[in-house]
Chains A and B, each alone.
Chain A
Amino acid sequence: GAGVSQSPRYKVAKRGQDVALRCDPISGHVSLFWYQQALGQGPEFLTYFQNEAQLDKSGLPSDRFFAERPEGSVSTLKIQRTQKEDSAVYLCASSSRRWANTEAFFGQGTRLTVV
Chain B
Amino acid sequence: ELKVEQNPLFLSMQEGKNYTIYCNYSTTSDRLYWYRQDPGKSLESLFVLLSNGAVKQEGRLMASLDTKARLSTLHITAAVHDLSATYFCAGEAGGTSYGKLTFGQGTILTVHP
A residues within 8 Å of B by Cβ?
4, 31, 33, 35, 40-45, 48, 50, 55-56, 91, 93, 95, 97-99, 101-109
Contact = CB atoms under 8 A, between A and B. Distances in A.
B100 to A, nearest CB: 5
Contacts of B61: none
B5 to A, nearest CB: 10
B50 A48 contact: no
B98 A48 contact: yes
Given A42-B88, A99-B97, A108 B103 contact: no
B98 A50 contact: yes
B41 interface: yes
26 contacts: A31-B99, A33-B99, A35-B101, A41-B105, A41-B106, A42-B4, A42-B103, A42-B105, A42-B106, A43-B103, A44-B103, A45-B101, A48-B100, A56-B98, A93-B43, A97-B98, A97-B99, A99-B98, A101-B50, A103-B33, A104-B99, A104-B101, A105-B45, A106-B42, A106-B43, A108-B42
